[in-house]
Amino acid sequence: MNQSYWILSTKSKDYENLSKDLRTNTLIVGAGIVGVTTAYLLAKQGVDVVVVDADKVAYGSSGRNTGKVTTQHDVKYSEINNKYGLDVASLYYEGNNEALNLVKNIVKENDIDCKFEEVPAYMFTQNENYIPDLKDEYELCKKIGIDCEYHENLNLPIDIKGAISFNNQGQFNPKQYVDGLMDKCVELGVKIYENTPIVDLEKGDICTVKTRDNIKIKADNVVIASHVPWYDGLNLYFAKEKADRSYLLGATLDKDFPKGMFISVEEPTKTFRKYEGEGKKLLIFGGNDHKTGQGGKEEEIFEHLKQYASENFGLNDFKYEWSAQDCMSFDNMPYIGHINKSENNVYVATGFSKWGMTNGTLSAIIISDLITKNKSKYEEIFNPSRKGGYLNTDFIKENLNVGINYIGGKLKFGSDEMPREKGEGKIVNIDGKRYGAYRNYDDELYVVDITCTHLGCELKFNSAEKTWDCPCHGSRFNYEGNILEGPALRPLNRYGENKNNVDPKLY
Ligand SMILES: Cc1cc2nc3c(=O)[nH]c(=O)nc-3n(C[C@H](O)[C@H](O)[C@H](O)COP(=O)(O)OP(=O)(O)OC[C@H]3O[C@@H](n4cnc5c(N)ncnc54)[C@H](O)[C@@H]3O)c2cc1C
């Protein structure tokens, strides 16, 4: 079953959808960790806030991750230091540490039951070739003033060649945290509307934002907390970051497991932590990321992870499996702040590179400060309009990859036969045109136009989740053609309807 343990095991509240026009001071689009934390910080200062979400609270990446709240972000400090220098690396740490402490305080002050535990975070290698990288990162972390230690070995049943620990980090159930914080927001007067997708923004001193049902919200400030920005402000976010998918399992733990959160430096990444709650003891285990729409046979990735967990940790009872994606910026720094240089009342937060629990909380600190004080000490280093930093070999490689997939997708021929097996999906040719066909488990056939409605790339079938995924910019659609993840704003048309409309604004 492809659904996050956190979402399956949490009884979510239902909030109504928006059915009439509204006026507010600050509209927040997206009810993940960024949107809900920003709403909380603003509402505490008396700002009038409305939050809308296309789906439900914390049903995006915030309800599908590993639940590590840490300032240890792979070998991030070395990467930032090499690109931007020690001061920027230190400020990145300071901001994320402030965010970690904010999460700890929010949980305590509001008594949020999200199984928050203070634990160390470990980054390890099983490959001697990575020891120099780890040692360099350790020396730099010491220089920055991070409370960390170097280990030759760890109390784990796998062969470790070296590791760094960060002390006093946190782990929680991320869905329960965001839900609990949303409850506090409602108590503070925040209005929240679910199942309310936003499709357009007209800029101005007062912005007008439109829902898919053409309901209008007028707001002095708009915060785009939608993970992938649905409004680009001509700052080309789709070309400055890429979507990476990764995979998680929830396996029954019937023995003790060391306290802490663990992640490998080398790829394919392995990440794991223990979770106790709802009468269960689980190891949340996963990794193996790949660019969305380019994972080969996705269902084999779960098998690979299960094999590793079984051989190395003796785990065999895999009760939960799911995948999720995050936006990876090309210079390892998120984009947080004004969407572009001219629209001072539209804000964005994206590109957390799989570390959005602290970076997302930090986004809320920065954006709420920009709205209420017109400044933040972190605004410069995360400025989404920063020059050049993302223009590097990754940027060139990824955008070449987009071109190759765009053209390659158009040249690929489909099959002349419809899927025969239940659960089978493939590209088919009908009257010389390409479609995506899927036969569901009730033996019903769904045929959709698989040209992505964002920028016209050809979608690929994801065999684990039975979805159509864009290999260029990460949009995802279910087999009926409905949007699961942006940046696309329009669903796919079905066979017999007109061909898809590609996003006219971006073209
Ligand atoms: C497998 C995996 C494991 C991870 N583990 C960790 C971890 O342990 N620690 C960590 O720090 N980070 C982790 N991350 C990263 C982290 O989950 C994300 O960075 C973070 O959740 C992003 O939060 P967000 O609020 O920006 O987005 P989301 O939580 O995705 O929220 C965005 C919301 O916007 C809504 N939305 C989108 N478009 C529209 C629209 N047009 N109109 C209205 N609403 C819209 C969506 O429905 C969604 O609810 C992990 C990521 C993955 C993929």
pTM for the structure as a whole: 0.92
Residue nearest to atom 52 of ligand 1 (CA): 65
Partners of residue 290 on adjacent β-strands: 245
pLDDT at 57 over 90: yes
507 pLDDT band (50/70/90 cuts)?
very low
Task: For residue 193, give the nearest of 381, 335, 35 by alpha carbon.
Answer: 35
**pLDDT, tens digit, 9 for 90 and up, residues 153-208:** 999 999 999 999 999 999 999 999 999 999 999 999 999 999 999 999 999 999 99
pLDDT at 61 over 60: yes
CA 132–ligand 1 middle distance (angstroms): 32
Residue 389 has a pLDDT of 65
Partners of residue 347 on adjacent β-strands: 223, 338
Give the CA dihedral 352, 353, 358, 364, nearest 10 degrees. Answer: 0
Report, as an integer, the average pLDDT of 359-368.
98
pLDDT at 7 over 50: yes
What is the DSSP secondary structure assignment for residue 105, as one 8-state letter? H
Residue nearest to atom 26 of ligand 1 (CA): 227
Cα separation, 204 vs 206, in Å, equals: 5
Region of poorest pLDDT, from 42-46, 232-236, 261-265, 447-451:
232-236
pLDDT at 407 over 70: no
Residue 135 near residue 78 (C-beta atoms within 8 A)? no
Residue 298 has a pLDDT of 76
Among 354, 484, 485, 505, say which to mutate for ligand 1: greatest number of ligand atoms within 8 Å of CB: 354
Q: Which atom of ligand 1 is nearest to the CA of 352?
A: 19
Residue 127 has a pLDDT of 96
Residue 236 has a pLDDT of 83
Q: Which residues line ligand 1 (CB under 6 A)?
A: 29-35, 52-55, 59-62, 65-68, 197-198, 225-227, 230, 246, 248, 324-326, 352, 354-358, 360, 486
pLDDT at 465 over 80: yes
409 pLDDT band (50/70/90 cuts)?
low
Task: For residue 32, give the nearest of 172, 142, 166, 174 by alpha carbon.
Answer: 174
Among 29, 65, 71, 238, say which to mutate for ligand 1: greatest number of ligand atoms within 8 Å of CB: 65
356 pLDDT band (50/70/90 cuts)?
very high
CA 247–ligand 1 middle distance (angstroms): 14
**pLDDT, tens digit, 9 for 90 and up, residues 486-496:** 889 889 998 88
Check the CA dihedral 489-236-57-275 and report its sign: positive
Q: Which atom of ligand 1 is nearest to the CA of 486?
A: 38
Report, as an integer, the average pLDDT of 412-436.
86
pLDDT at 403 over 70: no
415 pLDDT band (50/70/90 cuts)?
confident
CA 354–ligand 1 middle distance (angstroms): 9
Q: Beta strand pairing status for 241-252 and 318-329?
A: antiparallel
Check the CA dihedral 152-156-158-164 and report its sign: negative
**pLDDT, tens digit, 9 for 90 and up, residues 335-351:** 999 999 999 999 999 99
Region of poorest pLDDT, from 106-110, 380-384, 432-436:
432-436
Q: What is the mean pLDDT of the chain?
A: 92
Residue nearest to atom 27 of ligand 1 (CA): 227
